[in-house]
Amino acid sequence: MKQYLEKVINRQSLSVEEMNGAARCMFGEEVSDTEIGAFLTGLKVKGETPEEIAGLVHVIREKSPLKFSNLSSVMDNCGTGGDGSQSFNISTTSAFVVAGAGITVAKHGNRSISSKTGSADVLEHLGVSLSLSSEQMEELLLENGIAFLFAPHVHPSLKRIMGVRKQLRIPTIFNLIGPLTNPVQLDSQLLGIYRRDMLESMAIALHQLGRRRALVVNGAGYMDEASLAGENHLVLLDRGEMIQFTLTPEEVNLPTYELDQIRGGDSKENSDILRDVLKGKKGAYRDTVLFNAGLALFANGKAETVQEGVAAAKESIDSGAALAKLEKLVEYSKRKIGV
């Protein structure tokens, strides 16, 4: 570990291969918590590169006990968290809308860290099991087109690192990479990030991780989701080519809302919001989901424009297809696990 630590302390970036080595050291028993903390702090001060992000993610995915063999053309839509907006569970609600529009979604997520309610909290409240096996998840993805992958269950090797991060009390590279560590080999992805300065770096990392298409977004108000509060900043990755652009609510024929109009609450409140949106209730929550689901469909390539994606998202909700995806996920959990 010493060679990697010295390099980052001297503000020298690591290659993908070097980061692979450093990550394997971090997950080994020979390295102390102090060394791990120093390494993460050194990366933070230096500034994390796409190669370092991709190198760490490769090792985390490699160490996951969950393996999938029969899946193809799968996407995820997830934010890094950390924006402090206290919004409702936008990406989780949007995932069912995307699945209802015909895209297979492996929804990777966790309990609340920086917000009141994480994706795992709200889905558990709705009756979705967090402890399905990889075989059961794969069955759900093939039959239902959506499954939830609970991060601690998927990545038990990160338990020690979580302890170090809590002691450091500063954001590290691990605050950026959560959405990238999905153990399913994703074909496309919508990634929200609270750091606007990292948009291009995350798009490069997604390319290095094998994404065919992806969209990285920093929303108005620096949200880690697309926001209807103003101008959103995005980078589209399309087969290695990167295109930067901005997008406003007016450009996709949606209203403008202040950020406090999409605030969430506890698990019950957010699960009620999620169900209401999927049942067709109109307002700021629905329109925000339409925007984010529309972007996901564009990121996947199913929609040629974001406007087409928003229209397909409306159809997914209004036809009942999105709600049916949730109901089947809950029913499967009850049948297999007895939750």
List, for residues 262-303, the tens digit of each pLDDT value: 999 999 999 999 999 999 999 999 999 999 999 999 999 999
Query: What pLDDT score does 118 carry?
Result: 82
DSSP 181: -
Backbone phi, psi, residue 271, to 5°: -70, -35
Query: What pLDDT score does 288 carry?
Result: 98
Q: How many degrees, rounded to 5, is the angle at CA 280 between CA 129 and CA 95? A: 40
d(CA 255, CA 197): 27
Q: Are the CB atoms for 72 and 186 separated by under 8 Å?
A: no
- Binding-site members for 5-phospho-alpha-D-ribose 1-diphosphate are 79, 82-83, 87, 89-92, 107-115, 119
Please state, as a whole number, how many other Cβ atoms lie within 10 Å of the Cβ of residue 31: 18
d(CA 339, CA 332): 10
- What's the token pair of residue 92? 């989780």
Please tell me which residue, 187 or 81, carries the higher pLDDT value. Answer: 187
Q: Are the CB atoms for 55 and 23 separated by under 8 Å?
A: yes
- What's the token pair of residue 228? 């209807």
Query: What pLDDT score does 198 carry?
Result: 95
List, for residues 239-258, the tens digit of each pLDDT value: 999 999 999 999 999 999 99
Query: What pLDDT score does 339 carry?
Result: 45
Q: pTM here?
A: 0.95
d(CA 127, CA 329): 9
d(CA 141, CA 17): 32
Q: Are the CB atoms for 204 and 240 separated by under 8 Å?
A: no
- Same topology between domain 1-63 and domain 75-332: no
- Binding-site members are 79, 82-83, 87, 89-92, 107-115, 119, 165, 224-225
Q: Are the CB atoms for 316 and 114 separated by under 8 Å?
A: no
- Binding-site members for Mg(2+) are 91, 224-225
- Binding-site members for anthranilate are 79, 110, 165
Query: What pLDDT score does 67 carry?
Result: 87
Domain ranges of the chain: 1-63, 75-332
List, for residues 183-223, the tens digit of each pLDDT value: 999 999 999 999 999 999 999 999 999 999 999 999 999 99
| pLDDT surpassing 70 at residue 175 | yes
Which among 145, 70, 102, 88 is positioned nearest to 329, based on CA atoms? 145
List, for residues 20-55, the tens digit of each pLDDT value: 999 999 999 899 999 999 999 999 999 999 999 999
67 Cβ contact partners less than 8 Å away, ≥ 6 residues apart: 134, 183
Please state, as a whole number, how many other Cβ atoms lie within 10 Å of the Cβ of residue 203: 24
Q: How confident is the model at residue 313 (pLDDT cuts 50, 70, 90)?
A: very high
List, for residues 83-123, the tens digit of each pLDDT value: 778 899 999 999 999 999 999 999 998 886 655 678 899 99
CA distances from 55 to 24, 40, 50 (A): 10, 14, 8
Strand order across the beta sheet in which 146-150 lies: 146-150, 104-109, 74-79, 188-192, 213-218, 232-238, 241-247
1.20.970.10, 1.25.40.10, 3.40.30.10, 3.10.450.50: CATH of 1-63: 1.20.970.10
Alpha helix locations (H) across the chain?
Answer: 2-9, 16-26, 33-46, 50-63, 90-100, 119-126, 134-143, 151-154, 159-168, 174-177, 199-208, 267-278, 284-300, 306-318, 321-336
Which among 280, 226, 233, 217 is positioned nearest to 256, based on CA atoms? 226
CATH class of the domain at 75-332: alpha beta
| pLDDT surpassing 60 at residue 140 | yes
- Which residue type, as a one-letter code, is found at position 305? T
Query: What pLDDT score does 231 carry?
Result: 98
